[in-house]
Structures are given as structure tokens and as C-alpha cells.
Amino acid sequence: MIPLAAEYTLMAFVASLGVLQAGAARAKLWGLLFFRREASAYIFAALSIVGAFSWFFRVNRNIPDFEGGLAGGQQFLCFSAAVLLAIIFTILLSSLIKGGKGQSSSQVEGGQGLDVLREMTYFEAIRRGKGRKGG
């Protein structure tokens, strides 16, 4: 039997992946998407969010704290870890899938912050930033 904290963390991770994909599709941050088509990102987002919550709440989760439920602090840590892992996973997977397929640094002018992810992956943006500084 999987501990409740691990199940909650997994649910939050999968749902966070969906939220990140929906947000990236809405903001047109192509460098963070797992898919080439915006519609695919929205479908993935809907399936992962609904699927994660459906899986987690498939049984009665109304467990008093003294019987092994999650205390507030533990729930906060599990949720924070899940979101952080989802961000890292999104950056890594999107960069692996689309690595080298974005526009080259010389083709993309301007844009700072998250705007650069409209044209390239996170790691391409890091390389571009290092190239600008000359180091």
C-alpha cells in the first residue's frame, strides 16, 4: 500500500504538469510545450488534471489526522515538492523533445524573461544568455 503522502504528491505532480502545459499553451510558450499543437497541450492538460484528481479521490479520503492523514505542514511540503518537480520535469522533457528544433540564437532578437520561451526551449535560452554575456 502506497503511503497517503506519496499518493498526494503524485496527484499534485501530475495535475501540476497539466496546469503548466495549459498555461504554456495559453501564453504561447512553445519552448515549454510537450506537443507541437496547442490543442494537444490542452487535451493533455485536461486529461492529466481530471485523471489525477479522479485517481486520487477514487476512494474516501476523509481520514482524521490521528489515523494517518496529512497534517497541514506535510501537505504543504508534498504539494511544494510536487510543483517544483513538475516545473523541472517540464523544462527537461520539453528541452529533450524539442532540443535544437527552435530558432537559433541569432534568429531571435529581443525578448527577455519568459518571452524567449515563445521561440526556444529553456536550455537554448540559457545558452543564448551565456552567449550574450560573452562567457
CA dist 100 and 42 (Å) reads 24
Give me the mean pLDDT over the 96-110 stretch.
61
CA dist 120 and 124 (Å) reads 6
pLDDT-derived band of residue 101, with 50, 70 and 90 as boundaries? low
Q: Is residue 108 in a domain?
A: no
pLDDT above 90 (res 100): no
Looking at the structure of the chain, the number of domains it has is 1
- pLDDT recorded at residue 27: 94
Identify the CA nearest to 120 among candidates 105, 135, 131. Answer: 105
Identify the CA nearest to 7 among candidates 90, 78, 99, 102. Answer: 78
Q: Is residue 114 in a domain?
A: no
- pLDDT recorded at residue 105: 45
pTM equals 0.82
Range of the domain at 60: 4-97
Q: Is residue 106 in a domain?
A: no
pLDDT above 50 (res 77): yes
Q: Is residue 92 in a domain?
A: yes
